[in-house]
């Protein structure tokens, strides 16, 4: 990977993480629409990126189900009472059934359903996972937990990509331009930043608790980004069509933040 590309992806991860963290601060009782609009924008970009990357059978149907699941999940996240994760899980299950059923309509699509199941699950699950951030802002201390996890995830993704730009070593695989130094260094920097941030937050936050949250969020985000890289190289080696340049490089950070969101929700209940 060219150095300029790796640095551009790092910048995108920082901007996305800081944008989500700052937008979360605007969310409050009776004032959740701005943050929901930001989340929906990220969902739309994610569904587009994942759909163009995986190209599942019945592409337009799966993309439509992903978009519809995103809208329903946002609405449920804002209006459910009390704020909890289970309604989003129900939306996820319905969306997965609808996406797979849509692929069974045509015979040519039906033959590829099992092969494309991973991509279908990511498209629907990713769009439903992001509204977990909205649910977090509706529970006590949830906004602070979300801020810590988003900052840690963004820092980890950026450091990992910057390290790969200058020293992708030791290579995790000969075909993948990612190094162990970036992965480990990103997780460490994300943990350190979250610990510092936790020292400025009110009780029950402590640097130790914030560091635990930051570590988990950073590891989840970095490993998700890394997994996307391996999947992309696997598709290229199999001779499958690859997405456009921009889509190919932004899907890693998008996936990282999508998986960090439910991790932050779980951490809020376990650590605090």
**For each successive 10 residues of the chain (272 residues), what is the average pLDDT?**
90 97 92 95 96 88 95 96 94 94 75 78 95 96 96 97 91 87 96 94 89 97 95 83 80 96 96 85
Q: Where are the alpha helices (DSSP H) in 238-272?
A: 245-271
pLDDT of residue 102: 87
pLDDT of residue 108: 61
CA–CA distance, 189 with 155 (Å, rounded to integer): 7
Among candidate residues 131, 180, 191, 185, the one with its CA nearest the CA of residue 158 = 185
- CB atoms inside a 10 Å sphere around CB 199: 12
pLDDT of residue 111: 67
pLDDT of residue 110: 66
pTM to 2 decimals?
0.94
pLDDT of residue 232: 87
H or E element in which residue 171 lies: strand 171-173
**DSSP code at position 31:** B
Question: What radius of gyration do the chain's Cα atoms show?
Answer: 18
The size of the chain, in residues, is: 272
Residues 6+ away with beta carbon under 8 Å from 114: none
pLDDT of residue 235: 82
Q: CA angle at residue 247 from 158 to 130, to 5 degrees?
A: 65
């Amino acid at each position: 990977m060219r150095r300029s590309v790796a640095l551009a992806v790092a910048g995108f991860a920082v901007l996305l993480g800081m944008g989500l963290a700052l937008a979360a601060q605007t969310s409050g009782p009776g004032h959740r629409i701005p943050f929901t609009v930001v989340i929906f924008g990220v969902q739309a970009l994610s569904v587009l990126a994942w759909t163009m990357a995986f190209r599942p059978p019945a592409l337009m149907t799966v993309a439509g189900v992903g978009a519809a699941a995103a809208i329903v999940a946002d609405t449920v996240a804002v209006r459910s009472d009390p704020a909890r994760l289970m309604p989003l899980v129900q939306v996820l299950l319905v969306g997965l059934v609808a996406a797979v059923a849509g692929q069974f309509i045509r015979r040519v699509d039906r033959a590829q359903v099992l092969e494309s199941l991973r991509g279908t699950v990511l498209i629907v699950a990713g769009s439903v996972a992001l509204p977990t951030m909205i649910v977090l802002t509706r529970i006590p201390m949830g906004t602070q937990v979300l801020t810590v996890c988003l900052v840690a995830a963004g820092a980890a993704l950026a450091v990992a990509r910057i390290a790969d730009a200058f020293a992708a070593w030791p290579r995790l695989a000969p075909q993948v331009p990612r190094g162990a130094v970036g992965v480990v260094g990103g997780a460490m920097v994300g943990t350190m930043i979250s610990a510092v941030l936790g020292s400025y937050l009110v009780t029950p936050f402590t640097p130790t608790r914030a560091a635990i949250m930051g570590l988990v969020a950073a590891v989840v985000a970095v490993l998700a980004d890394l997994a996307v890289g391996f999947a992309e190289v696997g598709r290229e080696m199999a001779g499958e069509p690859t997405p456009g340049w921009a889509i190919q490089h932004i899907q890693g950070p998008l996936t990282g933040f999508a998986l960090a969101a439910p991790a932050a929700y779980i951490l809020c209940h376990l650590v605090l």
